[in-house]
Amino acid sequence: MMAQGNEPRSSTEAIRLLANRLIAALRGWVCIFALGLFLSAISTAHGMPLRLGGVEVPEGKFMRDAAGQVISLNLSGMGLRDERFLDYLRPHIHTIQALNLSDNKFSRLDLSPLSNAINLFSIDLSNNNLREINLSPLEGLPRLSLVVLASNRMESISLSPLAKCPQLRILQLQNNQLGSIDIAPLAECPDLRTLWLYGNQLTDFCVETMKNIESLRELRIYDNKLSDRCITELERLKSLEEIDILL
What pLDDT digit, counting tens, does each position of 41-95 carry? 444 445 578 999 888 999 899 999 988 899 999 999 999 999 999 999 999 999 9
Work out whether the CA dihedral 90, 122, 33, 27 comes out positive or negative. negative
Measure the CA–CA gap between 73 and 70, rounded to whole angstroms.
8
| Mean pLDDT estimate for the chain | 86
The pLDDT tens digits of the residues spanning 99-111 come to 999 999 999 999 9
Domain 48-244 carries which CATH code? Answer: 3.80.10.10
The structure's pTM equals 0.81
Q: Show me where the domains of the chain are located.
A: 48-244
Task: Give the DSSP per-residue string, 174-237.
Answer: -SS--S----GGGGG-TT--EEE--SS------HHHHHH-TT--EEE--SS---HHHHHHHHT-
**What pLDDT score does 8 carry?**
46
Contact 97, 124 (CB under 8 A): no
Question: CA dihedral in degrees (237, 206, 197, 173; nearest 10)?
Answer: 130
**What pLDDT score does 180 carry?**
93
**What pLDDT score does 45 carry?**
42
Q: How much is the CA Rg of the chain, to the nearest whole Å?
A: 19
**What pLDDT score does 1 carry?**
42
Contact 100, 73 (CB under 8 A): yes
